[in-house]
Structure 1
């Protein structure tokens, strides 16, 4: 607070006032300009002396500046700061200070300002850039989603987004990766995705199912053999799967099924990147990127002496765990529609899904994960006799759906109260199963804001 006595005059400080490099303007309580600094006139594009004696109200009407400070300070009776615009389009950060006389009455209003035009322009530029970056981000997200869908991958859930983010990082380097997850979650699909995004995408992608090759043929299939290596061998010999992967990616699927006596041979190839064909004496060097996958608990297998610990550490440099389908419900509906479209094209049939069918598919446990969903969708497209696929076409184990105990109609409750009780039961079960409001909304086929409102209504937390 500034207090001036009646004997104080600005004339004593004239030289000080004009020596300042800031805009300073003094008015009385009626808005009549009494004093200004030389800088003030330059800011508004006028002669400073010409402002003395004029009313700030008149100057605002003439467009010199807007809004005006004096009435705000008079009304609030305190220091006020706001942004003012001049007739030259400049933005000023103006501060007004009330000045009181010896009786404590409002006597003068002193204002000073700082030109923030460039700062305002920078702010507008940053806002524009943020909007542009958001637009580009949205376009990239759409492009990435399309690329994932083209690869047969849906990643709407947060868990799958993390998986894809890790996979993209892995694709940039040749580090060994171990993909973990239940049977049918799409481990081989993710391995192909990593390969296709890597610098080795022009090279081969060789998939070896370690659980499908007969034990007696494993070495011959994996390492190949020379002519006459054993009875029944091809006359010209055979190139093995490891050699075929040269320059590309070797994907060892179901690595947990690999017999213990073969594990040491695989470990040696991984370490040395060279091997001998069956019956051969010349080492063959090979350059491949290794990705492995299993649905087994390898730590348990190590403890039970069924899997070598040294091989495990070689494979498990970067682990990637794909969540089961039942834990990524946000991905189920997009997967359903993607598969429907694929099988429509494959079998040249036009099909639509009844909403009740989608509801049943959302509530199923999917113990076979994506592979089971693929089989179900293909069956529905092939066997459905009409364009609309209804619940009747679902397998019996899918028709059951979620069960709820219906409220008793023998009570004194109204129909509205009974319906609310049923709705609350459904929401309680959904909250327990799906946890997040987004997942609940997707599972129940409604919007997330609607679910939030209903959870608050029934006090379900």
Structure 2
């Protein structure tokens, strides 16, 4: 066997053994040899490709684009990404072979199939996003540990709620938590889930006020691949679907626009979802919990909340009173949060007894959330280990709320404010005005007040504080 025949056999063996697709052309771009696996990549047999030019094959979208043409033009090693007729994504690498005069006599290209790698990458990214979500839920569950020894049940009102939760947790009845922003409705919702038979399954919390109406359907129900521009090509499960076998918690349910309420009601009644752009209906087994800081019955009367949705939610209503009405909880919550933030920031700070007295006097319009935010701020900013009352942002106005009310017109409290609610509204309005002066956006105001941004916007409208903010 002469050297030429031996060389040809070696080339054939390499072409057959290679896992990559190999194409060899002459210096004019005519295909001379291809590896047998070209059919699985380009959808054409070797006999079809051999003898054709890369210009012809590119015009047929078989080589899209042709790496050989790029190499012939640039006269050097090149790489391009190709999309093949079989739906594959390949990395094509082209190498020029020169003669003694520097002319290209051959172009050898290797096409490595990256489709599986790309699919794995997308699967990994999707899994990573899910893991981040689940890790957040796990962390929140840890932070809101629901053992009765840690759960704050000092006041009689809180004890009654805790006992009621323990009684209804084992059922699948719908529960709606009512109360002002920041009273801890989401913590009670988690306690309910933790005590149920679904405690080892997912707890999906949805802030209904945070999802734009235009995105609500795709976020809640999910979508199939290619449903709209920018959609994940594999589709996406909605929040309702993710709650299968677990608990779906709809926070701030009163914030939903009427058009969205109708879509949600059908899914809650039938416990079935159809993804956007899909035709298949999927049964979802979940326990529904909701919460709101609004009076849903009044909203029903005004026509801003569907009556049928109200009765669907209002199976077991639980009212969580504001912090000012359960002052016994203030001290124990304060020490609970102080311990938490001392550990978080590796400090060892403690309250002066007068600081605690100020805590007891203060009406806490932002409720538990405001108290928690306040204590975190004090742990971070207090210069000494002892947290003195002059560190409190409201300490500069040493007058109590009652004194402020009476001072407004230098009149007794009972003449100046006809009811407790009027007095509370007065304090709330003062705090909103103060936040409005100090901060530029409603998001910063919400952080300062310990409220949600949507609640701040609503209260600004309520008191006609015309904030030109985001």
Structure 1 residues 403 and 285, CA gap change in structure 2 (3 angstroms): closer
Structure 1 residues 341 and 313, CA gap change in structure 2 (3 angstroms): same
Partner Cα separation in structure 2 for residue 353 and residue 286 of structure 1: 49
* 1:290 maps onto 2:288 in alignment: yes
CA shift, 1:365, in A, is 0.3
Q: SS of 1:231's equivalent?
A: coil
RMSD between aligned alpha carbons? 2.0
CA shift, 1:314, in A, is 0.5
1:208 paired residue number: 206
Matches within 5 A, 1:69-108: none
* 1:147 maps onto 2:147 in alignment: yes
TM-score (norm 1): 0.55
> Which residue of the other structure, out of 369, 372, 375, is the alignment partner of 2:373?
375
Deviates more, 1:382-391 or 1:395-404: 395-404
1:281 paired residue number: 279
Partner Cα separation in structure 2 for residue 299 and residue 149 of structure 1: 36
- Stretches of structure 2 that go unaligned for 5 or more consecutive residues are 1-144, 404-418, 421-470
1:169 paired residue number: 167
- Note if contact 1:364-1:401 (Cα within 8 Å) is conserved in structure 2: no
Counting matched residue pairs gives: 262
CA shift, 1:295, in A, is 0.3
CA shift, 1:310, in A, is 0.5
TM-score (norm 2): 0.54
Where do 4+ consecutive residues of structure 1 move more than 6 Å? none
Partner Cα separation in structure 1 for residue 241 and residue 328 of structure 2: 41
Structure 1 residues 275 and 146, CA gap change in structure 2 (3 angstroms): closer
Q: SS of 2:330's equivalent?
A: helix
Give per-residue Cα distances to partners, 1:268-288, cap 9 Å, x unaligned.
111111010000000011000
Q: SS of 2:148's equivalent?
A: helix
> Which residue of the other structure, out of 310, 313, 328, is the alignment partner of 1:312?
310
Structure 1 residues 398 and 271, CA gap change in structure 2 (3 angstroms): farther
1:390 paired residue number: 388
1:93 paired residue number: none
Partner Cα separation in structure 2 for residue 288 and residue 272 of structure 1: 11
CA shift, 1:302, in A, is 0.6
Matches within 5 A, 1:90-239: 147-148=147-148, 150=150, 153-239=151-237
Partner Cα separation in structure 2 for residue 325 and residue 217 of structure 1: 35
CA shift, 1:402, in A, is 2.6
CA shift, 1:398, in A, is 6.7
- Note if contact 2:390-2:396 (Cα within 8 Å) is conserved in structure 1: no
> Which residue of the other structure, out of 329, 334, 340, is the alignment partner of 1:342?
340
Partner Cα separation in structure 1 for residue 328 and residue 319 of structure 2: 17
CA shift, 1:148, in A, is 3.1
- Note if contact 1:176-1:290 (Cα within 8 Å) is conserved in structure 2: yes
Larger radius of gyration: 1
1:351 paired residue number: 349
* 1:256 maps onto 2:267 in alignment: no
